[in-house]
Amino acid sequence: SQQGEEDPQALSIQEGENATMNCSYKTSINNLQWYRQNSGRGLVHLILIRSNEREKHSGRLRVTLDTSKKSSSLLITASRAADTASYFCATDGSNFGNEKLTFGTGTRLTIIP
Amino acid sequence: GAVVSQHPSRVICKSGTSVKIECRSLDFQATTMFWYRQFPKQSLMLMATSNEGSKATYEQGVEKDKFLINHASLTLSTLTVTSAHPEDSSFYICSASHDQGEQFFGPGTRLTVL
């Protein structure tokens, strides 16, 4: 079964608007990561947030984590056409190392120029 | 960042044949490699975890005799899909990690079985 569920499954917004995607998970985690995947390509690591962190920023990305609700959100500000991709959250129970990741169902984001 | 390559990027084969996919870590030694499968418009599902020099650990529901994994060196892992059938058509992605750090993902291999 999927550890992570993401919503929305698909999101279309105008270029320049902000995009928010949510991820919920079921078991305890040590880290939660967000990845981007362009169609038919591999994964690009975006950001990692540890279980003792509540918010993290990287450029136009802002990630929050609420361990009490077992949920995370990814905010992309000032969206660009190049942000069109699928976005996945992934959780692991290790201290960020070589332990398996469990991926969410993903959000397909489309930025309309 | 670290680079992981996969070869081939695309493969088309006939039903009943075997296909080998290579995953290489180009600039670091990967003690652990992971193999994922992704069906169209779906998420990545972990198939197996392999550590260099030891047998792979397969996830529940993944047939180890059908998906043979070899991790013979610290920079190379191979996935062989034996006696492939059309339902094995999928996007296969590997990732590699070393003791210290994160998983680095390969670009994926699209397998089409006719």
Average pLDDT of the segment spanning A35-54: 92
A101 close to B (CB below 8 A): yes
Instruction: Return the sign of the alpha-carbon dihedral for residues B62, B64, B69, B72.
Output: positive
One-letter amino acid identity for A111? Answer: I
Average pLDDT of the segment spanning B78-94: 96
Distance of CA A33 to the CA centre of its chain: 6
Least confident range from A3-7, A60-64, B21-25: namely: A3-7
Residue of A42, A101, A106 lying closest to B108 (CB–CB): A42
Q: Which helix (H) or strand (E) holds A63?
A: strand A61-66
**Contacting residues of A for B101, CB less than 8 Å apart:** 96-97
Give chain A's radius of gyration (CA, Å).
13
Average pLDDT of the segment spanning B58-74: 93
Residue B1, pLDDT above cutoff 80 = no
Best mutation target, A98, A101, A105, to test chain B (most B CBs within 10 A): A98
At residue B27, the 3 state secondary structure works out as coil
**Contacting residues of B for A41, CB less than 8 Å apart:** 107-108
Preceding omega of A113 cis (within 30 degrees of 0): no
Across the interface, whether the CB atoms of A103 and B106 are under 8 A apart is answered no
Residue B16, pLDDT above cutoff 80 = yes
Across the interface, whether the CB atoms of A42 and B101 are under 8 A apart is answered no
Arithmetic mean of pLDDT over chain B? 92
A24 close to B (CB below 8 A): no
Average pLDDT of the segment spanning A50-73: 96
pLDDT tens string A71-94: 999 999 999 999 999 999 999 876
Could you tell me which chain B residue has the CA closest to the CA of A4? B43
The rounded distance, in Å, linking the Cα atoms of A13 and A108 is 11
A113 close to B (CB below 8 A): no
Contact, A48 vs A57, CB < 8 A?
no
pLDDT band at B20 (very low <50, low <70, confident <90, very high): very high
Arithmetic mean of pLDDT over chain A? 89
The rounded distance, in Å, linking the Cα atoms of B101 and B79 is 23
Could you give the C-alpha distances from B97 to A23, A45, A61, B16, in angstroms and in order?
Answer: 24, 13, 24, 33
Q: What's the farthest any 2 CA atoms get from each other in chain B?
A: 41
The residue to which tokens 């960042």 are assigned: B1
Residue A4, pLDDT above cutoff 80 = no
Cβ pairs bridging A and B (under 8 Å) = 58
Least confident range from A55-64, A70-79, B90-99: namely: B90-99
Identify the pLDDT of residue A1.
Answer: 30
